[in-house]
Structure 1
Amino acid sequence: MARILVAYYSRTGNTEKMARAVAEGAKDAGADVDLKRVEDVEPDDLKSADGIVIGSPTYYGLMSAEVKQLFDRSAKVRGKLENKIGAAFTSSASIEGGNQTTLLSIIQAMMIHGMVVAGDPMETGGHYGAIAIGSPDDNSLRTCRKLGERVAMLAEKICR
């Protein structure tokens, strides 16, 4: 059974709703899922996961400072996340809010660790991960569940 860590930062609750949907999708795919706020994630949590899905609100087209701090702390496990499956999701206030660049900032940090990144599992136009504008609607939550499912499936195939 693949072990999936879903880590998120959420100030308004929108990104947390998405995180719960990602975790639900991974569980439905048979994974053992750990859902945590980024502030509660330790570097060893990253090491023990087969798949890591990180969510952040979009702040100026980038991940939140709290998510960046997690990546800064992850330097302690540099070289130990190679070939783990990674994915990202974000929420913003508007369609022009910088969603794609936020996803890319998270993905870039994952790639520095040598992770294998899974993009948007549905042809919704998101390409890089799941996105919500404001409170996630049914389509956004469905995309989040599919993302969690896909990461769990890939982690099972590649990491187990």
Structure 2
Amino acid sequence: MLTILFVCLSGSAISQDTTRVLIVYYSVDGHTRSMGEAVARGARGVSGTQVKLASISEATQADVLWADGIVVGSPVYNAAVAPEVQKFINSWPFEGDPLHNKVGAAFATGGGISAGEEVVQLNILHSMLIFGMVVVGGAEWSSSFGASAVTGEGPFLSKGGMVDSLFLRKGELLGKRIAELARKLKSNRGK
């Protein structure tokens, strides 16, 4: 009986120490999914982080409530967030401020240079601010609004859903940053 109690209590302590990061994306051609996978790799590299990577169609409101950090990714649709992404964000719970002080970030993919990636990132971040989330950009000045990828122009013209390694690295750094900051905020709430 004592052993069972100890196992239950220690399991509870482990889950308290775990930082949970949700990475949600909408992807038609695989580019945004590839960026989401890069963000997930970066977050998983932070000790004590549990990551859930899901497409918009798989993600639930329970996932949003579960997470300490939420990263949302969208392709550029006419210089705007994909409608599916906005619909998902619009479904988040608002009453009672359940997302208050969760860490949020954004990533985007677009076909061309200056095709709207930063506009999409800012739209996602603006939505997160409405929910009282703490929003962060990327780890470097060159990714101030999160991580983004150009996939259809010049040297970044992708083939078969492959995203240039430069952009994937920015995604990994964003994942690492959100996991680290979510961990710090979560540990400070306990004080």
Q: Which of the five TM-score ranges fits, normalised by the shorter chain?
A: over 0.9
Q: How does 1:127-142 map to 2 (within 5 A)?
A: 127-134=144-151, 135=158, 136-142=163-169
Q: Matched residue pairs, number? A: 159
Aligned equivalents of 1:77, 1:141: Cα separation in 2:
36
Q: Structure 1: 5+ residue runs without aligned partners?
A: none
Query: TM-score with structure 1 length normalisation?
Result: 0.95
Shift in Å, 1:6? 0.3
The one-letter code sitting in structure 2 at the alignment partner of 1:137 is D
Aligned equivalents of 1:40, 1:76: Cα separation in 2:
20
Q: CA RMSD in A?
A: 1.2
Shift in Å, 1:14? 0.3
Aligned equivalents of 1:77, 1:133: Cα separation in 2:
37
Partner of 1:154: 181
Structure 1 runs of 4+ aligned residues shifted over 2 Å read 75-78
Aligned equivalents of 1:129, 1:4: Cα separation in 2:
15
The one-letter code sitting in structure 2 at the alignment partner of 1:144 is G
**Largest Rg, 1 or 2:** 2
The one-character-per-residue Cα deviations of 1:90-120 (angstroms, maximum 9, x if unpaired) are: 0000012111110011001100100001102
Identity rate of aligned residues, in percent?
A: 37
| Cα gap change, 1:86 to 1:35, in 2 (>3 Å) | same
Residues 78, 113 of structure 1: 8 Å contact kept: no
Partner of 1:87: 105
2:141 to 118, 123, 148: 123
1:15 to 32, 37, 55: 32
1:66 to 75, 81, 84: 84
Query: TM-score with structure 2 length normalisation?
Result: 0.80
Q: Could you tell which deviates more after superposition, 80-89 or 134-143?
A: 134-143
Q: Structure 2: 5+ residue runs without aligned partners?
A: 1-17, 152-157
